């Protein structure tokens, strides 16, 4: 029988789809063996964790497809961890499967209210649980459209996050980061190096946001376009650190001769050979003050205008929109 993820693999990168990374937190169970048996059609990589910080670090190294909790006795110890995961800006999007054969009805109800996608409170049937795990992972990849290069949430998750914050009335800043001269770099060095540049940029933004704010969110629209959301009072320090780290690291992604010149020569969009400086990053920032915006589309409209202006400036810059909604 062809599995769901194998069908998905034929449309994407087969080798990547057949490797599943599972974060596992367990007590008094043999869940590691149960998972590998149930998902025997895949190369299952188990990442053990007992704290949220450990899970996040594992997710930075290898994108976690599924988080599994298992308890052979009273599962109440899971509650605080489940609550932390679902409140985390990045981990909240990873599906959770809980195995708790000793759980009572109250725990099952609370688990689903906390956002657990699947809770097994009875006998573990390998075929049934394999089908459930596959479906959870498939739905997560489909709904969040996680970018294969950056492993960051895609457009659907970004829109959901902005809309969620608009509904709560929080004051927040949306930062739109776009690489300058990326197309020239990609054409000159090739798509393999271009893809590595996207991964490096995603790590820079994700690490800076995660290090400087507990309420941050980072997403990848696609290509060389990124979105991150931070509290208003932290927007300056976050953007300054993203730019400083980017400008310090990126020149070393060029050959020494090109780095010393400070430019590369590539045909532009009109087919004319042109000199392009070392890549920089432009960041357009929109702040939602006094519930100025009611939905993500309004923010997107103003962001496009500000982004165009910011990219017209030389080097790496960030610009905060100070005008009222128009």
Closest to 144 measured CA to CA, from 162, 156, 159, 160: 156
- In a domain, residue 114? The reply is yes
Residues 6 or more apart from 154 whose CB is under 8 A from it? Answer: 144, 145, 146, 147, 219, 220, 221, 222
Residue-wise burial string across 181-204, b where 16 or more C-beta atoms lie within 10 A, e elsewhere? bbbbbbebbeeeebeebbebbbbb
Q: Which two tokens stand for residue 176?
A: 């739109």
Q: Please report the pLDDT score of residue 11 as a whole number.
A: 41
Residues 161 and 138 in one domain: no
Q: Please report the pLDDT score of residue 6 as a whole number.
A: 43
Residue 325: is its pLDDT beyond 70?
Answer: no
Residues 125 and 34 in one domain: yes
- In a domain, residue 325? The reply is no
Residues 165 and 127 in one domain: no
Q: What are phi and psi of 27, to 5 degrees?
A: -140, 125
Structural domain harbouring 9? 4-142
In angstroms, rounded to a whole number, what is the distance separating the alpha carbons of residues 158 and 74?
A: 36
Q: What is the CATH number of the domain that holds 112?
A: 3.40.50.2300
pLDDT in tens, 79-129: 999 999 998 877 888 999 999 999 999 999 999 999 999 999 988 999 999
Number of structural domains in the chain: 2
Which of 121, 142, 163 terminates a domain? The answer is 142
Which of the two residues, 294 and 186, has the higher pLDDT score? 186
Which of 109, 142, 175 terminates a domain? The answer is 142
- In a domain, residue 112? The reply is yes
Residues 226 and 100 in one domain: no
Residue 7: is its pLDDT beyond 60?
Answer: no
Residue 68: pLDDT band (50, 70, 90) is: very high
- In a domain, residue 250? The reply is yes
Q: Please report the pLDDT score of residue 324 as a whole number.
A: 62
Residues 43 and 138 in one domain: yes
Average pLDDT taken over every residue of the chain: 87
Residues 172 and 302 in one domain: yes
Residues 20 and 136 in one domain: yes
């Amino acid at each position: 029988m062809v599995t769901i993820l194998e069908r998905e693999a034929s449309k994407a990168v087969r080798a990547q789809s057949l490797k599943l990374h599972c974060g596992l937190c367990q007590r008094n169970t043999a869940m590691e063996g149960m998972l590998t048996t149930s998902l025997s059609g895949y190369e299952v990589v188990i990442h053990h964790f007992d704290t949220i910080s450990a899970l996040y670090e594992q997710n930075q190294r290898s994108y976690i497809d599924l988080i599994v909790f298992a308890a052979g006795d009273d599962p109440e110890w899971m509650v605080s961890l489940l609550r932390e995961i679902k409140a985390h800006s990045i981990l909240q999007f990873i599906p959770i499967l809980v195995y708790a054969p000793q759980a009572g009805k109250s725990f099952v109800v609370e688990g689903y209210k906390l956002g657990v996608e699947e809770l097994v409170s009875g006998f573990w049937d390998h075929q049934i649980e394999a089908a459930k795990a596959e479906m959870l992972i498939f739905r997560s990849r489909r709904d969040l459209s996680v970018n294969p290069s950056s492993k960051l949430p895609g457009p659907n998750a970004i829109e959901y996050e902005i809309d969620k914050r608009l509904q709560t009335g929080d004051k927040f800043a949306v930062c739109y980061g776009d690489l300058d001269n990326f197309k020239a770099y990609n054409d000159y060095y090739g798509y393999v190096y271009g893809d590595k540049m996207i991964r490096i940029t995603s790590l820079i933004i994700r690490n800076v946001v995660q290090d400087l704010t507990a309420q941050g969110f980072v997403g990848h629209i696609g290509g060389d376009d990124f979105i991150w959301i931070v509290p208003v009072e932290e927007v300056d320090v976050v953007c300054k650190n993203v730019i400083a780290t980017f400008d310090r690291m990126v020149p070393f992604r060029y050959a020494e001769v090109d780095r010393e010149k400070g430019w590369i020569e590539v045909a532009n969009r009109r087919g004319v050979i042109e000199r392009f400086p070392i890549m920089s990053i432009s960041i357009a920032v929109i702040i939602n003050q006094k519930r100025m915006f009611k939905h993500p589309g309004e923010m997107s409209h103003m962001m496009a205008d500000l982004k165009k202006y910011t990219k017209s400036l030389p080097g790496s810059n960030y610009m905060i929109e100070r005008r009222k909604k128009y």
